[in-house]
Amino acid sequence: MDVFDKCEANMGHLGMYADESEGYYMFPKLEGEIANRMIFDGKERLVWSLNNYLGLANHPKVRAADAQGAKDWGMAYPMGARMMSGHTKYHEELEQQLASFVGRPSAYLLNYGYQGMVSIISAMVNRNDVIVYDSEAHACIIDGMRLHFGKRFVYPHNDMAKLERELERATKLARKTGGGILLITEGVYGMAGDLGNLPEIVKLKKKYKFRILIDDAHGFGTMGPTGAGTDEHFNVQKDIDLYFGTFAKSMAGIGGFVAGDEKVIKFLKYNMRSQIFAKSLPMPMVIGAMKRLEMLRDEPEHREKLWTIVNALQKGLKEDGLSIGNTASPVTPVMLNGTIPEATQITYELREKYDIFCSIVVYPVVPKGTILLRLIPTAVHTLEDVQYTIKAFKEVKRRLDNKEYPNEFKIGKLHS
């Protein structure tokens, strides 16, 4: 056997559809300035698939800060990893600002949230420690746990009774090994938009001894009275031991951060391998992140605009009989019942007939028979966009209920 044989024999869950869907359903190219309307396949479409929640991606102040950062520093500076040669006072300054914004004593920057999360987990636990985690954990959490040499226990998504059972098991085991317990949850679950049940999880701390790490990729900037995240929304900041946020969504940039007590952040700084052995965030990213954070913190109008759009979209969809699951965040999943071929027909129709571009999520990410069309409202959408989209979705659902879509895979226009 050649290790390369699999490249043809088994492309994997996503790759198996590559020939029919690449360029259209997968790896589509969105062109033009980042906005509510962008060009896809040569035509302007109404785009609902960017996590540009606060609309900062193309904001003139952000663009100016990015350009100035690149002009002043170039993309190379600082050269090297932070521990060796890539450290600057600007990186530290941004960390202080982030820590203070999320109400923690200390923070450390991460170059890419994903790698950061992998290393937070692998640094935080040793073979004696036990991880307890939600079954819908993001891939970066799963990958972090793959580097864990000890035991891990999963609980069904937000099922608090089962979580308690796993905490009991974890407690027994940790007593035997002499280790501790790390519980990992997300603030906002990015596919369905529901929230990790932080109030109930935190209550369990009275009965069991464990630390909590939250991945708040979608909550940072969108949730809570000041946008400081899902733990601020639930008023449980003091009980969440480690807070993780990324710059990839509300901040419309790249990178991320972890925040918590000083001694823990110092430990992570010296032990997160993906940060120690990788180049530091380039200066324009750091300067650009400071500008974004300033806007996120001092200009609540972006978050207010976002929530105006979110509320109008979610209310309108529900009133028109569309199921949006249990979302309590801007992430708006439209749940339909149908097959994967039907899902491709619907997505095709939304794009080609209505010029609506949204992401489509099917099995194995959601249960078989469920089609999840994910809408991400942002501060740069308009109420007209919302009304137009609700109408289109209502029509699509009517046609699906009437079994009007052929149950065959619709090949994207680029391929036909």
Ligand X SMILES: Cc1ncc(COP(=O)(O)O)c(C=O)c1O
- Give me the residues that bind ligand X (CB under 6 A), please: 112-114, 117, 138, 140, 186, 190, 215, 217, 246, 248, 256
Nearer to ligand X, 244 or 393 (CB): 244
Report in angstroms how near the CB of residue 218 gets to ligand X at its nearest.
6
Minimal distance in Å, beta carbon 7 to ligand X? 26
Q: Which residues pair with 373 in a beta bridge?
A: 334, 360
Rounded to the nearest whole angstrom, what is the least distance from the CB of residue 58 to ligand X in the complex?
18
Please identify, using beta-carbon distances, which residue of 252 and 313 lies nearer to ligand X. Answer: 252
CB of 115 to ligand X, least distance (A): 7
What is the identity of the amino acid at 287? Answer: I
Give min distance, CB of 116 to ligand X, in A: 7
| Helical H segments across 147-248, by residue range | 160-177, 198-203, 230-233
Residue labelled with tokens 């450390």: 108
Contacts of range 88-97, beta carbons closer than 8 Å, 24 or more positions apart = 88/280, 88/283, 88/286, 90/283, 90/286, 90/287, 90/290, 91/280, 91/281, 91/286, 93/290, 94/286, 94/289, 94/290, 94/293, 95/257, 97/290, 97/293
Residue nearer to ligand X on the CB measure, 290 or 414: 290
Supply 138's token pair.
């993001």
Give me 372's structure tokens: 């999840």
* Closest CB 57 distance from ligand X, rounded Å: 14
Task: Report the residue number whose CB is nearest to ligand X.
Answer: 113
The DSSP result for 311-370, as a single string, is: HHHHHHHHHTT-B-TT--SS-EEEEEE--HHHHHHHHHHHHHTS-EE-EEE-TTTS-TTE
Give the residue with the Cβ less far from ligand X, 157 or 394. 157
Q: In terms of CB distance, is 190 or 288 closer to ligand X?
A: 190
Tokens of 220: 């940072």
Q: Which is nearer to ligand X, 40 or 112 (CB)?
A: 112
